Structure 1
Amino acid sequence: MKFKMLDTLIDQKAQLQSGFDAMAERERQAKENYHAKKAEYESTITESVLSGADVTKDLDKLAKEIEEAKTAYERRVHERNIYSAARPAEKISSDDVVNAWNNEYVPEFNKKKRDPALNKLISVKRAYAEALLEYKGIIREFDNEKYVVANELGDSYRYQLKDVSFNFTREREKFTLGAHDLRSLESGKVPDYWNHHEELNGVGK
Structure 2
Amino acid sequence: MKFEMLDKFIAQKEKRSQEHAELVRREQSALETVHALKAKYEQVLRDSLAAKKDATKELDELQDEIEAAEKAYARRKQERNMYHDVFKDEITSQQVIDAWNNEFIPQFREQRFDAVLKRMLEAKREYVAAVLDYYQAVREFENIRNEARSELSDHYYYKLNGIELDSVPKQEKYFMDERDLRMLFNFKEVPNSVKTYEGDEA
State the TM-score, normalizing by the size of structure 2: 0.90
Counterpart CA distance in 1 for 2:157 and 2:128 is 32
Structure 2 counterpart SS, 1:188: coil
| Map of 1:141 onto structure 2 | 140
Residues 1:163 and 2:162 aligned together: yes
Deviation of residue 189 (structure 1)?
1.1
SS in 1 for 2:33: helix
| Distance change in 2, residues 1:78/1:132 (3 Å) | same
2:26 is the counterpart of 1:26: yes
Q: Secondary structure at the match of 2:159?
A: coil
Identity rate, percent:
38
C-alpha contact (below 8 Å) 2:180/2:192 kept by paired residues: no
Distance 1:114 1:11 in 2: 28
- Alignment partner, residue 12 of structure 1: 12
Distance 1:134 1:155 in 2: 31
Shift of 1:37: 1.1
Q: Which moved more, 1:100-109 or 1:133-142?
A: 133-142
Establish whether residue 69 from structure 1 lines up as the match of residue 69 from structure 2: yes
8 Å CA contact 2:180–2:193 kept in 1: the answer is: no
In structure 2, the gaps of 5 or more residues are none
| Residue deviations 1:102-134 (CA, integer Å, cap 9, x gap) | 111011111111111111111111111112111
1:41–1:63 Cα contact (<8 Å) kept? yes
Q: CA offset at residue 32 of structure 1? A: 0.6
1: distance between equivalents of 2:199 and 2:171? 14
| Amino acid in the other structure paired with 1:15 | K
> In the alignment, residue 55 of structure 2 is paired with which amino acid?
V
| Cα contact 1:194–1:200 (8 A) shared by 2 | no
Q: Give how far 1:13 is off.
A: 1.3
Query: What CA distance in whole angstroms lies between the structure 1 residues aligned with 2:137 and 2:144?
Result: 11
Counterparts of 2:198 and 2:42 in 1: how far apart (Å)?
Answer: 89
CA distance in 1 between counterparts of 2:130 and 2:46 reads 101
Structure-1-length-normalised TM-score: 0.89
Query: Shift of the alpha carbon at 1:200?
Result: 5.7
- Runs of 5+ in structure 1 lacking a partner? none
1:146-194 CA-partner distances (Å, limit 9, x unpaired): 2343344344322111101113222222222222222222232112343
Give the aligned partner of residue 3 of structure 1. 3
Counterpart contact for 1:30–1:69, Cα < 8 Å: yes
For 1:166 and 1:52, the matched residues in 2 are separated by 113
Name which of structure 1's ranges 126-135 and 150-159 shifts more when overlaid on structure 2: 150-159
Alignment of 1:1-205 (within 5 A): 1-88=1-88, 90-186=89-185, 187-199=187-199
Shift in Å at residue 54 of structure 1? 1.1
